[in-house]
Amino acid sequence: MAAVILHGATHSYRRGATDAWRELMGVASMRHDKQREFPRLERLAPENPIVKALPKEWGPGSDELYNIDKSWPTMTPLVQAWSVEGEKHFPVVWTNTYGKAKVFATTMGHNNRTMADSVYLDLVTRGILWTVGKLGPDGTPVAGYGPHTAAP
């Protein structure tokens, strides 16, 4: 079992009567900062295969920084950013374990600029591969799951 949660899906069911969706994600969020250029993104788990290959200095450009109000103990933050409005760091990329399910989530992805960014696309690809057990510990896809090259 696997789940990939991108940007606005984080706020799905935020007014729900149960914590089921929030437990699956590993976090609860009810709001986000105004859209602005992200300050420096900080890798919290630089050896994690999902974020290992991220450039040290990278940001998605203008995006929304979601405020994380609560996190579950099964959530592992991978990347965080500073909230100008909340005056604290919030995770922007994380993994979670929900029963047997592996969950990858990022709150980034509000704008086309972010969604088209090659680093963002690589991050999401690695997150997807990780959830289904197809990402090696060194951050490379297992055989048969890497980029397809045409035969000569």
Q: Is the separation of the CB atoms in 66 and 92 below 8 Å?
A: yes
Give the pLDDT band (50/70/90) at residue 61.
confident
- End-to-end CA distance of the chain: give it in Å, rounded: 37
Q: Which of 23, 17, 14, 37 is nearest to 108 (CA)?
A: 37
Largest CA distance in the chain: 57
Delimit the domains of the chain by residue range: 2-131
The amino acid occupying position 106 is: T
pLDDT recorded at residue 55: 87
What's the token pair of residue 3?
């789940």
| CATH 1.10.3720.10 describes domain 2-131 | no
pLDDT recorded at residue 130: 97
Average pLDDT of the residues in 102-115:
93
63 has a pLDDT exceeding 80: yes
pLDDT recorded at residue 70: 96
DSSP 142: P
The amino acid occupying position 55 is: P
38 has a pLDDT exceeding 80: no
> What is the β-pairing status of strands 101-106 and 2-6?
parallel
What's the token pair of residue 144?
């048969």
Average pLDDT of the residues in 131-146:
94
The Cα 50–Cα 96 span in angstroms is 13
Average pLDDT of the residues in 78-97:
94
10 has a pLDDT exceeding 90: yes
What's the token pair of residue 149?
């090259």
Q: Is the separation of the CB atoms in 103 and 17 below 8 Å?
A: no
Q: Is the pTM of this model over 0.75?
A: yes
CB atoms within 10 A of CB 11: 15
pLDDT recorded at residue 152: 61
149 has a pLDDT exceeding 70: no
> What is the β-pairing status of strands 88-98 and 75-83?
antiparallel
Structural Rg of the chain based on CA atoms: 15
